[in-house]
Chains A and B, each alone.
Chain A
Amino acid sequence: MTEQFPIEANEVHEVEPVETGRRAFLGVAAGVAGLCYVGALAYPIYRYLDSPSEMALGAAAVTEVTLKDAQKLPTGSVLMFKFGSSPAMLIHHTDGRWISLTAVCTHLGCTVQYEPDADRIHCACHGGVYNPYTGANVSGPPPKPLKAYKVTVGAADVTVSRA
Chain B
Amino acid sequence: MTTKSIANTVYSWVDERLGLGELAKFARKKTVPVHKQSFWYYWGGISLFLFLVQCFTGVLLLVYYRPGADAYESVRQITFTMHFGWLIRSAHAWSANLMMLSVLVHMFSVFFMKAYRSPREFGWFSGMMLLALASVFGFSGYLLPMDELSFFATKVGLEIPAAIPVIGPIIANLLRGGPDVSEFTVQRFFALHVVVLPAVFIPLLAFHLWLVQKHGNAAPPSEEAKPASQRKSMPFMPNFLVKDLAMWIISLNVLALLASIFPWQLGKQYDALAPAPLGIHPEWYFMAPFEMLKLLGLVFSGKLAALGEIAGILIFTLGIVLWLLIPFYDPNLESGRRGRRAHYFGLFAIFALLVTTAIGYWTIR
Question: Residues on A close to B: CB < 8 A?
Answer: 1, 3, 5-7, 37, 40, 44-45, 47-51, 54-55
Contact = CB atoms under 8 A, between A and B. Distances in A.
A160 to B, nearest CB: 27
Contact of B82 (A3, A7, A40, A51): A51
Given A48-B82, A49-B60, A51-B82, 4 more contacts: A1-B8, A5-B237, A45-B84, A45-B88
B60 A5 contact: no
B63 interface: yes
Contacts of B252: 37
Interface string B5-29: 0001001000000000000000010
B238 A44 contact: no
Interface string B65-107: 0000000000000000111110110000000000000000000
Given A48-B60, A49-B63, A7 B84 contact: no
Contacts of B8: 1
Contacts of B85: 48, 51
Nearest to B15: A1
B11 A45 contact: no
Contacts of A54: 83
Contact of B84 (A3, A6, A37, A44): A44
B83 A7 contact: no
B40 to A, nearest CB: 24
A7 B236 CA distance: 12
Given A1-B8, A1-B11, A5-B28, A48 B84 contact: yes
A47 to B, nearest CB: 4
A99 to B, nearest CB: 36
Interface string B255-269: 010000000000000
B238 A48 contact: no
B60 A7 contact: no
Interface residues of B, number: 19
A5 B84 contact: no
A48 B60 CA distance: 9
Contacts of B60: 45, 48-49
The binding surface of chain B is classed by DSSP as: helix
A3 B235 CA distance: 15
B83 A44 contact: yes
B213 interface: no
Given A5-B28, A6-B235, A51-B81, A44 B87 contact: yes
Given A44-B87, A49-B63, A7 B81 contact: no
Interface string B205-244: 0000000000000000000000000000001011100000
25 contacts: A1-B8, A1-B11, A5-B235, A5-B237, A5-B238, A7-B235, A7-B238, A37-B252, A44-B83, A44-B84, A44-B88, A45-B84, A47-B83, A48-B60, A48-B82, A48-B84, A48-B85, A49-B60, A49-B63, A51-B81, A51-B82, A51-B83, A51-B85, A54-B83, A55-B81
Contacts of A48: 60, 63, 82-85, 88
Contacts of A40: 256
Contacts of B84: 44-45, 47-48
Pick the most buried of B83, B87, B88, B252: most chain A CB atoms within 10 A of its CB: B83
Contacts of B81: 51, 55
Contacts of B63: 48-49
Nearest to A44: B84
Contacts of A55: 81
A45 B63 CA distance: 11
A26 to B, nearest CB: 13
B234 to A, nearest CB: 10
A69 to B, nearest CB: 29
Given A1-B8, A1-B11, A50 B238 contact: no
A5 B8 CA distance: 18
Contacts of A6: 235
A122 to B, nearest CB: 35
Pick the most buried of A3, A7, A44, A54: most chain B CB atoms within 10 A of its CB: A44
A3 B238 CA distance: 14
Nearest to B88: A48
A47 B83 CA distance: 6
Contacts of A3: 28
Contact of A7 (B87, B239, B249, B256): B239
5 shortest interchain CB distances as A-B pairs: A44-B84, A47-B83, A51-B82, A48-B84, A51-B83
B84 to A, nearest CB: 4
Contacts of A37: 249, 252
B3 to A, nearest CB: 14
Pick the most buried of B81, B82, B235, B237: most chain A CB atoms within 10 A of its CB: B82
A49 B56 CA distance: 13
A7 B237 CA distance: 9
